[in-house]
Amino acid sequence: YAPVRVNGFVCKNPMEVNADDFFKAAALDKPRVTNKVGSNVTLINVMQIAGLNTLGISIARIDYAPLGQNPPHTHPRATEILTVLEGTLYVGFVTSNQPAPNRNKFLSKVLNKGDVFVFPVGLIHFQFNPNPHKPAVAIAALSSQNPGAITIANAVFGSDPQISDDVLAKAFQVEKNTIDWLQAQFWENNHN
């Protein structure tokens, strides 16, 4: 027989559930090595803890190098609430294409240790560590067991197959050679 699935994940027989279905030795207290843009997101979701299935929550630790960023991205299935554990972060999001005068309004704030900021579901947002000398660390709680993440530049310039440079040149109102250069940067990073 086929196992029962909810939200794409197998549901365990409640009589067979144990503490390990709700546990992960995640070491979220330990610093992480950051990537090319100066961040590292360690997400704990339903793929790491099976017991999160149907509970609608996940958590992430985000490490930021000095001048590092978690670049503009969205979570298509979750609102995020972020708190700074160490350092300072400049954060912000852009509202949706609402009628004027609030069309694509940019809301931002500088957060210090202990401060909290909310990024509504699906909106493009980012975090940036403005300090050139000290790293920063934050914890984010997300309102989905599988929030998803779409990093804007990676998705647009590093898609497979590539989006036509004619389409992107018109959309961004730049020359095609600029789009070709951007695609080459992201293609190399995403596909090697």
| Structure confidence by residue, pLDDT tens digits, 68-94 | 999 999 999 999 999 999 999 999 999
| Parts of the chain belonging to CATH 2.60.120.10 | 19-148
Q: What is the pLDDT of residue 99?
A: 75
Q: Bigger pLDDT: 151 or 187?
A: 151
Q: Does residue 124 register a pLDDT over 80?
A: yes
Does pTM top 0.75 for this prediction? yes
pLDDT average, residue stretch 150-176: 95
Any binding-site annotation on 70?
yes
CATH class of 19-148: mainly beta
Query: Which string of DSSP letters, residue by residue, matches the chain?
Result: -PPPEETTEEPPPGGG--GGGG-----TTS-----TTSEEEEEE-TTT-GGGTTT--EEEEEEE-TT-EEEEEE-TT--EEEEEEESEEEEEEE--SPSTTSTT-EEEEEEETT-EEEE-TT--EEEE---SS--EEEEEEESSSS---EEHHHHHHS-SSPPPHHHHHHHHTS-HHHHHHHHHHHHHHHH-
Any binding-site annotation on 75?
yes
Q: Bigger pLDDT: 175 or 187?
A: 175
Any binding-site annotation on 133?
no
